[in-house]
């Protein structure tokens, strides 16, 4: 990379890292008492895909270790927000799905964080954010190794 390219890359990733940290902090503070960002993320994912996943699949989706995902799933299971059952085809695996309680908890969380998200969108503008999405998506895909 050239010196200009290095500066651009460093500046870009510095902004992404800072925006990520600030967004996580703001959203985590807005979540209902007892819900962590990792809990919301898993519930939101399971609600959106509306299919069962193995803990390993979830760990890969969120780019965390299996141990970290197991910890999150155990907490969600304890709260009654997910159902964890044996895989009928392979008894060594488990399958995870969102429970009705988990759907309700997700909805409460979405209502809690909606004002934070709406404020950011309103302040920046929908058109500017829509224009940024393709670039951010390409960057994510590149970092995932898909491009």
The predicted model scores a pTM of 0.86
Confidence of residue 147 (pLDDT cuts 50, 70, 90): low
Domain count for the chain: 1
Query: How many CB atoms are located within 10 Å of the residue 76 CB?
Result: 26
CATH number for position 66: 1.10.10.10
Confidence of residue 44 (pLDDT cuts 50, 70, 90): very high
111-140 core/surface letters (b: 16 or more CB in 10 A; e: else): ebbeeeeeeeeeeeeeeeeeeeeeeeeeee
Taking only the tens place, the pLDDT of each residue in 61-107 is 999 999 999 999 999 999 999 999 999 999 899 999 999 999 999 99
Domain that holds residue 20: 2-144
d(CA 28, CA 133): 23
Confidence of residue 4 (pLDDT cuts 50, 70, 90): low
d(CA 26, CA 113): 9
């Amino acid at each position: 990379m050239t010196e200009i390219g290095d500066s651009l890359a460093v500046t870009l990733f510095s902004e992404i890292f800072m925006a990520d940290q600030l967004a996580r902090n703001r959203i985590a503070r807005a979540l209902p008492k007892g819900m962590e960002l990792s809990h919301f993320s898993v519930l939101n994912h399971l609600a959106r895909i509306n299919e069962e996943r193995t803990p390993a699949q979830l760990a890969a989706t969120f780019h965390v270790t299996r141990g970290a995902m197991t910890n999150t799933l155990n907490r969600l299971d304890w709260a009654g927000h997910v159902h964890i059952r044996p895989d009928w085809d392979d008894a060594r695996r488990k399958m995870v799905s969102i429970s009705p309680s988990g759907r309700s908890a997700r909805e409460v969380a979405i209502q809690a964080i909606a004002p934070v998200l709406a404020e950011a969108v309103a302040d920046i503008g929908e058109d500017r954010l829509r224009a940024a999405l393709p670039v951010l998506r390409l960057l994510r895909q590149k970092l995932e190794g898909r491009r």
